[in-house]
Amino acid sequence: MKYFDGKPKQFGMSWAEINQRLPRLGYAVVADESSQQIQLEVEEGQAIIHYGPEQSRKIAGITLAYWDVTFEAKNLDEQALAEFERRFSLYVQKGGG
């Protein structure tokens, strides 16, 4: 999945799950709830996740949390972006999709 294409994405997880999974990426993580962003220190730059309020949807009687998010890269070259996307997908995505 391309995260830094400027298009909004959805995180299908709760805030507790995000806080549990992001540190596993191996980057320094700074979550700032007041500005609704999460900064990850990647090499000499940053990957920044901007998010909206936690929402939920019901599917077959089950309530699932999700967030609308956008990704921003600061001072990351193509190789660093590709490595971030690979690691992010590995540690954060759920399910078989």
Provide the whole-model pTM. Answer: 0.84
Domain that holds residue 87: 9-92
Instruction: Flag whether 1 is in a domain.
Output: no
Instruction: Flag whether 63 is in a domain.
Output: yes
The answer for residues whose C-beta is within 8 angstroms of residue 11's C-beta and 6 or more apart is: 18, 51, 66, 67, 69, 92
Instruction: Flag whether 86 is in a domain.
Output: yes
Cα distance between residue 56 and residue 12, in whole Å:
9
Cα distance between residue 3 and residue 84, in whole Å:
9
Count of domains in the chain?
1
Instruction: Flag whether 97 is in a domain.
Output: no
- What's the CATH code of the domain at 80? 3.30.1370
Instruction: Flag whether 78 is in a domain.
Output: yes
Please name every residue paired with 56 in a beta bridge, in sequence order, or none if there are none. 65
What does the pLDDT look like over 8-35, one tens digit per residue? 998 888 888 888 888 888 899 988 888 8
| Class of residue 40 by CB neighbours under 10 A (exposed 0-12, middle 13-18, buried 19+) | buried
What does the pLDDT look like over 41-63, one tens digit per residue? 998 899 999 999 989 999 999 99
